[in-house]
Amino acid sequence: DPYKHTVQQSGRLSRSPSPYSVRGVSHVVGSCGRLKMDGTALPENAEEAAALLGAAISADSPISIAANSPSSSSNTPQGMHSIFSVQSPLPNQLLFARLCNLRAWLRWHADAIDDPLIKASRADESGDHLGISFPRTKERPPSGEPFPAARSILAVLMKLLEASSNIASSGTGSSAVEDAGSKFVKSLSPKPKQRKHSQQHKPLAPLLSTPIRSVWAECVTLCVALGCNLQGNLRIDVNALINKLTEISTWNSRSRMAAGGVRLAVLQVLGQVCSMNTDLSKRTAPYAWEILQCCHKGLLSGGAGEPGHRAFCVQTASQLMVACRNAARSSARMTNSGEDTSFFASGALEERVANEVMKFAKRAASDKYPEVRLSAAVFAGLAAPMLIRNARVGRARDGDLPPLGLLEDMTQLSMKNIDDESAGVATAWSATLARCLCASSEYGKGVNDSKAEEQASRRSADVGDDAIVPENSMDLASKLKAFSGSRRGVVVTTSCSSVPATLTYLVGQFVKSGGETAANKCGGSFSIGGRATRIGYSDTIIEFLRLQSAKGDYSSVVAMPSVLEMVGASFDNQIKKKDGGYQQLLRERDFYSPSSPHASPSKANAKPTLSASFLNMNSKASATADSSIGRILTACVLRNISQSLSESDQHTLLREMISLIEGGSERLTRHQLQVLLIEISHLVIALGENCASSLADLIPALRDCLTNADHGVRHEAAAAFASISNPFPSSGRVFVIEALGSFGASMDSILGLSQKASASTSTTPRKRFGRPVRDDKRDGSSETNEELLRCQASVHGNSLAVSMLMHEFPHTTGGVATAIVGKSIEVINKLLQCQFDDNLVKLNPSAACTCIRAGYCMLAGVLSMGIAAVVPCHVSTVFGFWQSSSMNILPGKSKFSGSHDLLWVETMLGSVVSFLKFSPDLLLAVPEALNRITALLEKIFPLLSLGGRFEREVLNDRIGASRLSSARSSVLEAYSWLPPGSFPMSADRIYSFAVSQIQDLSSKDVMCSLIDSLVSREDQIIEAQAQSRAVCPGQIGGCVSLDNNLSLRSSDIMHHNEREAVLHILAWKRGKKQLSRSNPPVKGELHDSPVLDLYLGEEEDNSVPTPLHQVGTWRRPLDPTAVSRVRLLDCSIHLFAATFGLQDSHTQADAMKMLESMYSSGQTDKAKGFNAATLINESQGKVKPLEEDVLAANATATVLACLQALPLHESTHNTLISQSAPWMERSTSLLLRLLPSPSGIIRRAAAEGLSLLATLGTSEDAHALQSTILHSLDEVMKGNRVVAETNPKLQVDTLAHAKAGSLLALACIQRAAMRIKRKENERLSRSVARGGAIEGDNNAAATPVMIMMTRVLPTLATHNMDEGSLLARTYALHAFGILISNSIDKSDALTPEQTQIVSKAVEAVESNFLSAWSSVVAETSKGKEREKFGAEPSLLAVLLRLMTTLLPWIGSLSSLDRFVASRFACYVSTIIEFGKKHPLVWFEAMVFYERLSAHQNLLQPNSCCIVTTESPAALALPSLATVLRDSSPKVIPSSEDDFTGCEAPLDVQRAAIGCLHRICAVEGIGTSPADAAFVWSFFHQACGRRRFQHFSDLRSLALSRAITNFDDCQLVESETISLIQSIFASQWGRSKTVLERSYLAVQWILFCRCMAAGDTKYRDDDNYSEPMSLALLTERALDDARQLASRVLKSSNPPRWQLKCLSTNVGAICLAAVVEDEKTSTASTGSIFD
């Protein structure tokens, strides 16, 4: 028997005892049939797969494994560097493939076990696994059929423990010097001449490899599950196995036997054995004490260098908690015959286990590695529901803890860590705290209900002292006594004895915690306090309400009043104390920003202390963001409540909100009003036309809000009006007409009231100590002043609403009528005439400014509608407005003070920018328009520039300085939108002003926001970080909860005045493309993928607005951010770059010298250990990432913007051809210094800048500078040009960063060269099309791509994993993919050299997948643990991207290795399964599956070496269903996914929809509507998540540009509708006969009918006893449709109106298809409709 021979040879465990052997497990394997010897056929059963695995493990086996390898030769084509030699087979390559095959067969056998826990871990209700497994369509083995080979297969698997430890300790495995495959290959082929790079990959201990260890651990667990119930000698002794595993896990880490990842592997097996199924959980639960003790010892003895082992110990303990809960649930089902859906499980843990749980959780929560703390939070959340003790019957003993004692301890531990320095850890602890409070509230409710029942029973009973025995056999009196007597010791849990009480407690803690400068640290070892405290409590409230909603016992609508108390009266009082009350409302210049914080008037003249003077260096330090943060967090809670409600509940919630705001400020605070208005704007969009009945009440309530005294309330009310116009454009037009007619009366009232107030006002009394003296004479005029302010608020609010509606109308049905535009111009003219009304200006300058500002605000809204609404006749009127106003602000002519003038000048300039941005065609249509705009700007700019009128008058006023920055930004933005060369008189002055602003703002720690938009989005994946390591928004790939947490912690606050200043300059509708439906990819798509191109393609939206802009290299300005100083810095950088090319060489060199000195000064401060910015941010409670460097970011962004703005062939300005321009040399030096930056975005920007420098200039200059840069990059990679660090650890990190940045720069050079080549070819093609005969220089953009590849490839070798950096390896893989995609043409056949390059890339993917993706252990990661933890997601994402890149050329390797695509599919499936569900990783996986479906020819039956990889649909559908499934939390948690809050973001879901489109077009999806049920369910949920697109959920927060692409929910809906229609069309087209098609149509029609009607009540009994009849057949068909509809409508029924429309639409399509088919069918074909 060859298999028996293999097993006996594969290890000598049967002949000599081994420390890895398990007592009671035999190592003798029976016969399993004849073994396939050629290696190409797939195993036909589990026994055969195990035999092949045994051969792979054995080092002495003579079985050939070379058939799956491309070639044993490592020779390269002549002339190629030896680094391109390909080693085959790779270490562990065959081992992993055979492990996957074995696991697939073991899963197939295990699926016969009828256990709900197994199905619960699947992707969807179909029961398919993630990872390689047989699809559900394959026939399963009979239920209950034994699997006698389980024990023998387990013996084969256990041999890998010894082999792994041998390889790790001595570099060998089973007395072999090298891998078995390598040994056999060398025996067949002559030994080639040894070359320098012939052995680039050495064997890694298999169990150190994460994919191998994970698959192996599941195989072992499946064997245990299949063999634990066998009889006799075939049975696997689970108890002996647990004892042996715990023994191995406690071995000394330095021992030889524990090397090679053995301890981690057995811990992983131990955890999976606990939670695999109910039977194993019941077997392992009695050993909870021993297993937990083992994990605790590992946690204590792991040492500082073993964080990976400590994390595994905590994860194993977490799975043990799952086992204990599952065992308790199984017992509950056996006793109560029902499903356990309780938040707590009292008595599930023994008392000693529960005590050990608390000790373990406290120790793990204080670990310095966030990965361990994250696992500790998960462990605590899983254990907390089981910490409630049963009350002791009878008299309690001394020392007994109360029933809630341990739960109280866990709750307190969770509360201490909700402000952890890691946002991911804090989010997990918030989820844990929510589950603790859910358990305590449910327990308290049960006790209170029992008490109420007892009292009711006593009142109704004849004898009042009868005993009451509760259902759980506990003495109720003892239970009540213990519960009430423990209130002193368990404060939190007893306070949270019900859901309303818990919600009240959390809201109270949210308010009491204080603001960002007052909040103390919560008490955890790594707490930070500040903003993070309130963020943690808000996350807890969100998770608590989501859990209660999932359980179904509590309606979230009822929670709204309690949630509003988060910003209620107590919160408002806190803000008033910090802001000095509402005195600022009485100040004229504060009218437009009453919510802005100010110092108390009583302290205005106090002498500042030294610390206060220091903090005042940054104006933000004195302005806390408490009010904005509180509103944002409360709005996020309401958003999470409403989007999970059904349509009817959303409508109820909307009505309740309307009733609340009808009372206005009398019942609600200004913060509550803003929160309600924000949510109303979202609900109106979500409900759409279904909320038409609420408009009658909503519009009057919003009208009242437009006259509110608070600026924020008016702003949000105007936004709500804009949202109403989306589904109801006619209502918006009616409001605009009415509002335009009300301005006249308001202006007359303002004038009359101003005269009345002036007549009754006496001399203003003097102030004493900053307090106004009471004057009884003024009391009579208070009502007049209030009425005057109300009229001003009405003018401002109505103008703001009208302007927003004007911006919205072009994107709604019907547009806007010309008459409305004409009426608007008339009203604007009347408002602007107030600046010339001497009487009003003298009586009330603030009111006059209000009217002027309102006029220009509406003018900006009108101009934003574009040339379709603004006709040329209106333009002359508009120019007249600007001309007269500009003359009125000149010194000597202005009737206002500088601060008052600045109020309306800011808005006027915004209208100018709106005109230039949205109506640029009018510059050509209107004569002299360009000249008049230029003259206007040249007149205003000197007043705003340095030393101008406004700077002198508002220099010491912080609010005025903010408005001055905004006005300056508008001027610079207006210049940016002008055609190049149109302002020659001002160019030099603008350039000098921009330089001064860059220097000044950088010195004040203002960081530009442009850098994210300047770099290529193709490189975004290399910045991906693990959830516990993310510090900046965007690093987690669009995960909403974590991105919001990070943004709230670190972002600046925008006040309403700043938001209003940029309101009409923003692109209202974001031009998101819809996924391409064409089978052939559109030319120019990134990697030919429409999905990848949709998100990561170069957004070169640089379309010139007019022919005038085609001159030179004009670049479209980005949308501005609202923070005034950041906006000014961004504009300065953009205009500096635009005018940089116009300067002479000396001026350009001086500018680069300035940037160098600016950067150097910051590095000097760092070296001295003093960072003022860090101290300022700490005083604010704002979190600043450690790697953030403001000066470096600003310098890099400035240089990169200049390089992108220069033409492709820049003049050398009379410098020598052999030398480059001086400014180029300086910029090169600066960027080389920036490459080793610890910030990923700065490294990316520096690499991009170097690539532009290497390809910029004339041909001679380009090659000369290119050579210099390439040589310098070599020096940087070697560390020769890196500044030495005094700390050795920092020096290692700096060298890794320098190498990573240099590798990326090489790839960027090639990408930039190809971009230039493509542009040149396009230019030549246009010239040829016009009849020209221009020839280009093909060598102009030539780069030494082969030399650059030789620099990249050494980093990809895995011969010495101890010395390399995972970060540098990730950058190298990404760079290699860019070099390949930009140097090899997909349309041409591969040359031998290109074939070798592709083969080398395949080797790089496989070697790094099997070796670089490894465990964090001291053997291979000592000193680099943090880097390896953080860089794992980016490594996996880059591997997926590289595999996607290589797919077009894999077919060319079929003669060498036809199994590459099969292995790639297996690798992707494994990454999805074990990659911790990082959104960026999942996105790249969706892209790979979409491209694999387009290259399905690569997966022929004879090209698969792993089972089930021949069908992309079978591989992808489980993953796609996981992405699109319901994200509602589970009442009973089972994994880390229930705590991290990392649901699939909308970008990933759109990618999944695109992948399904491709699969549907190529293979089809299923054969019935049941196969598309998960898509219907996703559509139904997506409709409920609709929101107002024009503002972020985090309003008032300056978000990073990396995450400001707001999700377009309606676009997702349209794509999903198209997908569902495509699925039906595909199923219809694949039906071969008329009978099949008509049967399919009946299924779809009945299903659509049930969906539209909400008919989900079906008979559970499948056994119809009645005789078959037409009526019964109809009823059974309807029952099938109802059951399927119930799966879609399980979250909410009745269905939403969008689902009804879709069901009707698809049903109509089905009927039309049936009618058309009936017309073409004949009597012989038959039809069920006959």
- Higher pLDDT residue, 955 or 1113? 1113
Give φ, ψ of 1414 to 5 degrees. Answer: -135, 175
Q: What is the pLDDT of residues 915-947, one digit of tens each?
A: 999 888 888 888 888 999 999 999 999 999 988
Q: Residue 313 corresponds to which tokens in the numbers above?
A: 């110990």
Question: Where residue 780 falls among pLDDT bands split at 50, 70, 90?
Answer: low
Q: Residue 1500 corresponds to which tokens in the numbers above?
A: 């022929």
What is the predicted pLDDT for the residue at 1170? 45
354-378 mean pLDDT: 94
What is the predicted pLDDT for the residue at 188? 34
What is the predicted pLDDT for the residue at 971? 95
Q: What is the pLDDT of residues 1425-1457, one digit of tens each?
A: 888 898 999 999 999 999 999 999 998 888 888
Q: Please say if the pLDDT value at position 956 is more than 50.
A: yes
Question: Where residue 90 falls among pLDDT bands split at 50, 70, 90?
Answer: confident
What is the predicted pLDDT for the residue at 1069? 54
Out of 379-388, 607-616, 1048-1057, 1625-1634, least confident range: 607-616
110-120 mean pLDDT: 65
1514-1527 mean pLDDT: 88
Helix (H) or strand (E) holding 767: strand 767-768
What is the predicted pLDDT for the residue at 436? 95
3-state secondary structure labels for all residues of 781-832: HHHHHHHHHHHHHHHHHHHHHHHHHHHHHHHCCCCCCHHHHHHHHHHHHHHH
Q: Whole-angstrom Cα distance, residue 1545 to residue 1607? A: 9
Which among 458, 457, 454, 503 is positioned nearest to 479, based on CA atoms?
Answer: 454
Highest mean pLDDT among 65-69, 633-637, 1599-1603: 633-637
| β-bridge pairing 771-772 and 767-768 | antiparallel
Q: Whole-angstrom Cα distance, residue 1709 to residue 537? A: 49
Q: Please say if the pLDDT value at position 966 is more than 90.
A: yes
- For the chain, give the longest Cα–Cα distance: 114
Identify the sign of the CA torsion 685, 687, 693, 698.
negative
Question: Where residue 1644 falls among pLDDT bands split at 50, 70, 90?
Answer: very high
Q: Please say if the pLDDT value at position 1326 is more than 90.
A: no
Q: What is the pLDDT of residues 874-883, one digit of tens each?
A: 888 999 999 9
What is the predicted pLDDT for the residue at 73? 46
Both ends of the chain: CA-CA distance in Å?
Answer: 61
366-385 mean pLDDT: 94
Q: Whole-angstrom Cα distance, residue 1098 to residue 1085? A: 9
What is the predicted pLDDT for the residue at 803? 93
Highest mean pLDDT among 126-130, 489-493, 611-615, 1305-1309: 1305-1309
CB 406 within 8 A of CB 515: no
Identify the sign of the CA torsion 279, 383, 124, 1477.
negative
DSSP 276: S
Residue 292: burial class (beta carbons within 10 Å; 0-12, 13-18, 19+): buried
Q: Whole-angstrom Cα distance, residue 1135 to residue 1129? A: 10
What is the predicted pLDDT for the residue at 1133? 95
What is the predicted pLDDT for the residue at 784? 83
Q: What is the pLDDT of residues 414-429, one digit of tens each?
A: 999 999 999 999 999 9
State the helix-helix crossing angle for 898-918 and 872-888, rounded to 10 degrees: 160
What is the predicted pLDDT for the residue at 1397? 94
Q: What is the pLDDT of residues 315-326, one digit of tens each?
A: 999 999 999 999
The radius of gyration of the chain from alpha carbons, rounded to an integer in Å, stands at: 35
Residue 231: burial class (beta carbons within 10 Å; 0-12, 13-18, 19+): exposed
Q: Please say if the pLDDT value at position 470 is more than 70.
A: no
Q: What is the pLDDT of residues 137-147, one digit of tens each?
A: 677 777 667 88
Listed in sequence order, the residues at least 6 apart from 1188 whose beta carbon sits closer than 8 Å to its beta carbon are 1007, 1239
793-802 mean pLDDT: 94
- Higher pLDDT residue, 1182 or 222? 222
Q: Whole-angstrom Cα distance, residue 1525 to residue 1530? A: 13
Q: Please say if the pLDDT value at position 958 is more than 90.
A: no
Number of C-alpha atoms within 13 angstroms, CB side, residue 939? 18
What is the predicted pLDDT for the residue at 570? 92
623 φψ region: left (φ > 0), alpha (ψ -120 to 50), beta (else): beta
Out of 335-344, 381-390, 1605-1614, least confident range: 335-344
1476 φψ region: left (φ > 0), alpha (ψ -120 to 50), beta (else): left
Residues forming beta bridges with residue 768, ordered by sequence position:
771
Q: What is the pLDDT of residues 686-725, one digit of tens each?
A: 999 889 999 999 999 999 999 998 999 999 999 999 999 9
Average pLDDT, the chain: 81
Out of 809-813, 1409-1413, 1644-1648, least confident range: 809-813
- Higher pLDDT residue, 1149 or 958? 1149
What is the predicted pLDDT for the residue at 340? 62
3-state secondary structure labels for all residues of 321-352: HHHHHHHHHHHHHHHHCCCCCCCCCCCCCCHH
Q: What is the pLDDT of residues 1676-1717, one digit of tens each?
A: 888 889 989 998 988 777 899 999 999 999 999 999 998 888
CB 1021 within 8 A of CB 1153: no
Q: What is the pLDDT of residues 1225-1277, one digit of tens each?
A: 899 999 999 999 999 999 999 999 999 998 875 444 556 788 889 999 998 88
Which among 1158, 1193, 1178, 1316 is positioned nearest to 1252, based on CA atoms?
Answer: 1316
State the helix-helix crossing angle for 1222-1234 and 1145-1167, rounded to 10 degrees: 20
Out of 555-569, 855-869, 1098-1112, 1247-1261, least confident range: 1098-1112
Question: Where residue 127 falls among pLDDT bands split at 50, 70, 90?
Answer: low
Question: Where residue 1419 falls among pLDDT bands split at 50, 70, 90?
Answer: confident
Q: Please say if the pLDDT value at position 40 is more than 60.
A: no
Q: Residue 1421 corresponds to which tokens in the numbers above?
A: 């990661």
What is the predicted pLDDT for the residue at 1073? 52
Q: What is the pLDDT of residues 164-175, one digit of tens each?
A: 888 887 654 433
Q: What is the pLDDT of residues 1040-1093, one digit of tens each?
A: 788 888 888 888 888 888 889 998 888 765 444 555 444 444 444 566 788 887
Q: What percent of the chain has pLDDT over 90?
A: 41
1386-1393 mean pLDDT: 85
| Number of other residues whose CB lies within 10 A of the CB of residue 1323 | 13
What is the predicted pLDDT for the residue at 389? 84
Highest mean pLDDT among 256-260, 971-975, 1660-1664: 971-975
Q: DSSP labels for 1500-1543?
A: -GGG-SSTTTT-HHHHHHHHHHHHHS--PPPSS--STHHHH--P
